[in-house]
Each structure stands twice: as C-alpha cells, then as structure tokens.
C-alpha cells in the first residue's frame, strides 16, 4: 500500500467532482410499467437509483431531473452549463419530435449528450421517427428499455475517464 503525501492528498481533494445530469421529459414521471428487456416493474426512481449507484462507484455525481414542462427542462439545461456539468443523458420523450427550443439549449451549453428512449421510436407512429436531437447527440439509444439509460451512463463514464478526469 502506498501512502499519499500531504501534497497528493490536497491535490486529490481539490479536484472538482465530475457531474452527469440525467433529464427526463414529459410523462416519464408516470413510468411504472414492465421493462421490455428485463421484464421487471420499473419506476423512474428505480432507474435513477441504479444509475446513481453506478456513477458513485466511479466517483461521479449523478443528478436526475424530470419535468412535464419544456421551459423547466430548458432552464435545467442552461443551469447545467453554468454549474459545470460534464455530460447529459436525456430522454426528451414527446419533446423529441417537437422541441427546437430544447435542442437549441443543448447546443448552446455545449455539454456532450446522449439521447435515450425506452421504446424504439422508429417502430412507432411515423411522426415519432424524427428527432430534433439525434444529429447533435454523441449517441442515441432507443428501444432497450431501462437498460438504455445504463448503457448511456457507461458511455458517459468512459468519456469522462478518457478525458483525464
């Protein structure tokens, strides 16, 4: 076992904690259904709890925010920019197909993000096949249920490790 010197300890303590923000759009507060992949009954709190545990294992602070209101999601994205968030995982839900304003907020803050959808949006109604976010996202995960959030988090954590944090 190696001991840290006082200088090493001070340096370690002064490193800012990396942060991942998970955003959930409208109606995801109603999530209480069977996950198509695992078959388990899920709630948004379950999804957040699993993600938070995994992020904590890597020393990363994970925050979740859900709103049914577009302006609140935009405000949260803008705040993430000033708070120094390192990565965003977003399920824009119904705003995927309608919100240029939320897309603009994500582009303006410049925080890399992954777009996640529980269901396969390409297997649904024709109007759901278009996303205002996919072309700006560093990745898109669709149709893998709650596992999609975990995969997005693993990707985010790998990106944060690769960036030297």
Total domain count, the chain: 1
- 125 falls within a domain: yes
Instruction: State both tokens at 58.
Output: 């890597």
What is the C-alpha separation between 25 and 132, in angstroms, rounded?
14
- 8 falls within a domain: no
- 3 falls within a domain: no
Please tell me the predicted confidence (pLDDT) of residue 96.
96
How does pLDDT run across 88-114, given as a tens digit for each residue?
Answer: 999 999 999 999 999 999 999 999 999
- 106 falls within a domain: yes
- 116 falls within a domain: yes
What is the C-alpha separation between 27 and 68, in angstroms, rounded?
6
Range of the domain at 136: 16-162
CA geometry: angle 127, 133, 135, nearest 5 deg: 105
Instruction: State both tokens at 75.
Output: 């405000």
What is the C-alpha separation between 9 and 1, in angstroms, rounded?
15
Q: Residue 122: CB partners within 8 Å, gap ≥ 6?
A: 128, 129, 142, 143
> What are the binding residues for substrate?
91, 97, 104, 128
Please tell me the predicted confidence (pLDDT) of residue 91.
98
- 81 falls within a domain: yes
CATH, residue 148: 3.40.50.9100
- 51 falls within a domain: yes
Per annotation, catalytic residue among 69, 117, 122, 130: 117
Please tell me the predicted confidence (pLDDT) of residue 138.
98
pLDDT means per 10 residues, the chain with 165 residues, are 37 68 94 64 90 96 98 98 97 96 98 95 83 96 94 98 80
Q: Could you tell me the pTM of the whole model? A: 0.85
Instruction: State both tokens at 163.
Output: 């960036």
Burial code (b: 16+ CB inside 10 Å, e: under 16) for 110-121 equals: ebbbbbbbbeeb
Is residue 69 annotated as a catalytic residue, yes or no? no
What is the C-alpha separation between 15 and 23, in angstroms, rounded?
25
- 20 falls within a domain: yes
113 within 8 A of 143, measured Cβ to Cβ: no
């Amino acid at each position: 076992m190696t001991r840290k010197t006082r200088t090493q300890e001070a340096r370690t303590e002064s490193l800012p904690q990396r942060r991942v923000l998970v955003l959930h759009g409208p109606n995801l507060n109603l999530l209480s259904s069977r996950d198509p992949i695992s078959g388990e009954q899920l709630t948004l709190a379950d999804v957040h709890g699993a993600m938070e545990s995994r992020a904590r294992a890597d020393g990363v602070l994970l925050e979740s925010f859900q709103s049914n209101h577009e302006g609140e999601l935009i405000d949260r994205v803008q705040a993430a920019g000033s708070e120094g968030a390192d990565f965003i995982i977003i399920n824009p839900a119904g705003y995927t197909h309608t919100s240029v304003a939320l897309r603009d907020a994500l582009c303006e803050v410049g925080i890399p993000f992954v777009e996640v959808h529980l269901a396969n949006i390409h297997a649904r109604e024709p109007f759901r096949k278009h996303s205002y976010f996919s072309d700006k996202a560093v990745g898109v995960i669709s149709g893998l249920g709650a596992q999609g959030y975990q995969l997005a988090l693993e990707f985010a954590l790998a990106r944060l490790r690769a960036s030297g944090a």
